[in-house]
Structures are given as C-alpha cells and as structure tokens.
Structure 1
Amino acid sequence: MQQLKAKWLEMRTPQATKTAVLVIGGAEDKVHGREILRTFVARSGGTDAYITIIPSASREPGIIGGRYIRIFEEMGAQKVELLDIRERDQCEDRHFRESLENCTGLFLTGGDQLRLCGVLSDTSAMEIIRHRVKTGQLTLAGTSAGAAVMGHHMIAGGGSGESPNRSLVDMATGLGFIPEVIVDQHFHNRNRMVRLVSAIAAHPDRLGIGIDEDTCAMFERDGWMQVLGKGSVTVVDPTEVTHTNEPHVGATEPLTIHNMRLHILSHGDRYHLYQRTVLPATYRISS
C-alpha cells in the first residue's frame, strides 16, 4: 500500500487553465437556474463558445441532442453543432473531425456508456478530443453515461443494496480523460455507494468519485476538483488502505477493506486530485 501512496505523490500537477472537465451526475437542471450547464458554456468561451454535442450514448440521439442545442443557444453560445455519430466509421468523416478540431466545448450526453465507448474508443476522433483536452484547448463535459466514461476503468453496470462484493459491479474500459478516477453517477439517488467501493477495492490505484444528480465535479488542470450543484460528490480514497481480502474471496463473498478514507463534498468544496487535500467552500479560492 505504501507503493500506491508513493505513486500518487509522484504524479505531476498540470498548470491551471480556464478550460476544465465537467463530470455531471445526470439529471442536471435544464429549466431553471441551469448552473452547471451555464458553467460549461462559460468555460467554453461564453458568447464566443463553439459547442459540439455528441449524443452517441442515447437511444434517441436526435431528440436529446436537439434539447441541448436549444439550451446552449439560449445561453448565448455563438455556434452549437450536433455530431450524430452512430457508427465507428463516421469518426473518420471530415466534417466531424473539423468540428472536433475547432470547437471550444464538447458535451457528451447520457444514455449507455458502453454504446458511447464502442463508438468513440480507439478512433481518430477520440485522438483529437483527448489531445485537445490534455493540452487545455477544449472544455469537456459529460452527464450520466457521459460522466461514467471519464476514467480509464469504467463502471458499466451493477447492483446495490448488498454488502460490498465483486459481483456487484461490472467493469469495462472507459475513454480515459481522467484516468486516475473511477466515476459513478446518479450516486446517492440510486444507492450506489457499495458498488463504487467494490470497484475501488478491485482497483486500489484509482480514486472513486460518486456524483449525485444535478451535481458536477469540475476538474481543473491544476489538479483541483470543485463541486457544483445541489447534491454531493463522494470521494473514496484507498491510498492508505492497510488490508483487503478482495484478491482472495469469491465473487459474492463480502469484502473486507481496512482504513479506506471517505469524503463527502458539497457545493463550493474543493479536493486536490494529487495532493489528496480538501478545501471547504468557506475558504474556497476565487476563480
């Protein structure tokens, strides 16, 4: 476990920038204050924003995409486009690539995270997105399924209401925008604590991030994560775990995990991804 702690300490902290990655727990406010969506538009350039929407996770991409187009246009974005990517070969389309190379904000809708990864992973379109996010050229947001894909390891499904065990969570490979984390969405709303804990027990070199509905974990490039919205963000930190039986028990047997650290953060609270420090909203840094 000391080796895992050393690994975290060795990670370099990138420089701050105005772009960010917004990981949204789903069911974000689309009607009233729209705080999370307004923050996304602002971080994408405000009235100069060029926003591209990828609704590939949805079974009704045209309907869900059209709704976000209207919202972002109402918020004053200069240009809003829908990339209705349903097959992998569409990722090579010249128009789609140009949109991804020039947009200032990219929004991934909800739906099925496996469908989204199946369409985007290991494509030239994905290479463009990952490079532009990594270099701070693009603000990225994903809600629900679009949030689940943010880590390298992804929760694809699972149950709740039992003691933590390996059978509770189905894992797959995500899109890896924030490879250090495993994200679970609709978190307290669907009682998903045990499945996130089960996922982290299997991947103790990652950090668990559980995000409630109408709540956002906004990751800055300097390593800080800030909470926005009405619910909470739960951080499951296994860095100092002293013992787990996870490698030695059957899939349905209860897990033992000693000394796991838990943080529950609400609006304005901040957490540093690499330093593992918490900053309460009372003392939050001005943006």
Structure 2
Amino acid sequence: MPELQAKLLEMRTPQATKTAVLVIGGAEDKVHGREILRTFFARAGANDAHIAIIPSASREPSIIGGRYIRIFEDMGAKKVELLDIREREQCEYRDYQQSLEACTGVFLTGGDQLRLCGVLSDTPAMDIIRQRVRSGELTLAGTSAGAAVMGHHMIAGGGSGESPNRSLVDMATGLGFIPEVIVDQHFNNRNRMGRLMSAIASHPDRLGIGIDEDTCALFERDGWLQVLGKGSVTIIDPTEVTHTNEPHVGATEPLNLHNLRLHILSHGDRFHLYQRTVLPAVYRISN
C-alpha cells in the first residue's frame, strides 16, 4: 500500500516546464558546483541562452554585473548582456527594451530591493519582463534583493531575532511576479522567522517563503515550487489561521497567530503553491 501511494504521488507530480522563476536566498555558490546558477543557465536555454543581467539593486552595478557575466559566459551561454539601468528613464531606452524582448533569461542581482523597485516598477522594461515571464518565454531569477521583490507585498527591511511584532518588519510594494507570496531571504542565516511571521500576520491572504543562503525556491509555471541548494526553504501558510491579534495591538506588542501551518523544505522537496500539497524529495521526478 505505501508503494502504491508513493506511485500515485509520483504520477500526480507534473513534469518540469522549461522556463521557471528562481527565487534565491542570496550568497549562492559562484565558485564551486554553482548548482543554482547552473540551473538558471539550463532553464534559460543552456548553450543557446541569451541572458540579461540587471544589477539595478546594487551600489556597484558594473562590478557585480561583470561577475555574473563572467560566470554565465564560462558556462557557455551564447550571449550575456549587462543592462546597467540606474534611472527610471533608462527603461524607456529602445536598446534595453529590444534586449529584454530577445533574451531567454533575466537575472536580478542583490543589493537594495527598494532601489530595484524604484528603478523598474511601472516601466516599459518591467512590462516586457512580466509579460514574457507570464507567457513562459523567459526564465527569471532574482537573488537576495532580487528575490525580495518577487511578491506584490515586499519586505523592505526590519529587524531580526525577536518575537513577531508589527515594528519588526517594514513593508513596501514589490514587482509582483509571484503575487501570492511574501519572500524573505538570508532567512535562517539572519534569524528572520519572526520578521516573516510579522509580515504574514499583516497579510494573511499571502504565503510566506523564507529562503536560506545558497538555496533556491524554483517556481514552475504549473504551480509547483522545488527546493535547490544547501539550506532550507521555510513555508509559512496562514490558510487555516483561526485568530491573530495583529489589528488590535500596538506596534511593539507581541503578535499571536493561532493554527499557523509551517513547512521546512530541503533539497528536492516540492510544494504546490495553490493546492498547498507537499512532496518529499524521494518522490521527485528528475528534470
């Protein structure tokens, strides 16, 4: 009977689609196995990949962008471009728009998520990326700040290591590629569980996704999330929460959340964004 159940689970697991959205918790391996970056490279077309690097979040965009260019060129990408967009007006440039219309992969670097949103949100460049991701023409990846912007509601900053409370998290509007989620990165590395729980208490219609360093939540177009890398992905699911005091307490008072569901996923585990179904790695179908 357990064997039959395992087979049924395996049969229900959709085959991986080609394009995907890779949400990376920061500090991904850039030197040794480069598993996460190689997965992005493969999903963007491997040797046929045309990759656009957008380092707008960084204080040193040329330096950080140049590093990723060398990495993907070393992997054998057909073309790698740096779109050094520092001002909103540059999103109107036809050269940049043509690159975004032609590329097979876009990589958003780390830095400051508010800076990244300030430059890209509600621009023609952003419209092109969003439309092509939605239609399955483009693989998108974001690391650190580039991961934080993936939801509609975005963690812009805050504290760590405290009990959940409203003052622990600063919220802003993200880029909304995966509007159902609120992402936090460098998650267990910087003790951000309380921060993400505080965000979910304020937005109980969203799913919290906490991603460790050198770890990736890879979102397929069919709704499945798969974990890659060395750390864990924490899922905070408020679907069945029966009570929270969030609307009624002061900013620094502790929050309560009753009947909150928590999943800790590691390499190979899967989670369905809409069905809220978990599949352990043993049932994973190889891509």
Q: Which amino acid aligns with 2:39?
A: T
Deviations for 1:6-49, whole angstroms, at most 9, x for unmatched residues? xxxxxxxx996310000000000000000000000000000000
Which residue of the partner structure matches residue 92 of structure 1?
92
* Structure 2: distance between partners of 1:124 and 1:15: 33
How is 1:103-118 mapped onto 2 (pairs within 5 angstroms)?
Answer: 103-118=103-118
How is 1:124-203 mapped onto 2 (pairs within 5 angstroms)?
Answer: 124-203=124-203
* Structure 1: distance between partners of 2:268 and 2:286: 10
Q: 1:30 aligned to 2:8?
A: no
| Unpaired runs of at least 5, structure 2 | 1-13
| Unpaired runs of at least 5, structure 1 | 1-13
Q: 1:17 aligned to 2:31?
A: no
* Structure 2: distance between partners of 1:89 and 1:205: 34
Deviations for 1:73-113, whole angstroms, at most 9, x for unmatched residues? 00000000000000000000010000000100000000000
Large movers: runs of 4+ above 2 Å = 14-17
Q: Is the 8 A contact 2:15 2:285 kept in 1?
A: no
SS of equivalent to 2:29: coil
How far does residue 161 in structure 1 lie from its aligned partner after superposition?
1.7
Which residue of the partner structure matches residue 231 of structure 2?
231
Change (3 A) 1:179 1:237: same
Q: Which amino acid aligns with 1:100?
A: L
Q: Is the 8 A contact 2:108 2:146 kept in 1?
A: yes
Q: Is the 8 A contact 2:156 2:172 kept in 1?
A: yes
Q: Is the 8 A contact 1:15 1:221 kept in 2?
A: no
Q: Is the 8 A contact 2:242 2:258 kept in 1?
A: yes
Identity, in percent, stands at: 86
Q: Which amino acid aligns with 1:69?
A: I
SS of equivalent to 2:172: strand
* Structure 2: distance between partners of 1:143 and 1:161: 22
Q: Is the 8 A contact 1:101 1:128 kept in 2?
A: yes
TM-score (norm 1): 0.94
SS of equivalent to 2:267: coil
* Structure 2: distance between partners of 1:197 and 1:285: 31
* Structure 1: distance between partners of 2:203 and 2:48: 41
* Structure 1: distance between partners of 2:16 and 2:205: 24
* Structure 2: distance between partners of 1:45 and 1:56: 24
Deviations for 1:122-165, whole angstroms, at most 9, x for unmatched residues? 00100000000000000000000000000000000000121100
* Structure 2: distance between partners of 1:16 and 1:72: 22
Q: Which amino acid aligns with 2:176?
A: G
Q: Which amino acid aligns with 1:139?
A: T
User: How many corresponding residue pairs?
Assistant: 274
SS of equivalent to 2:208: strand
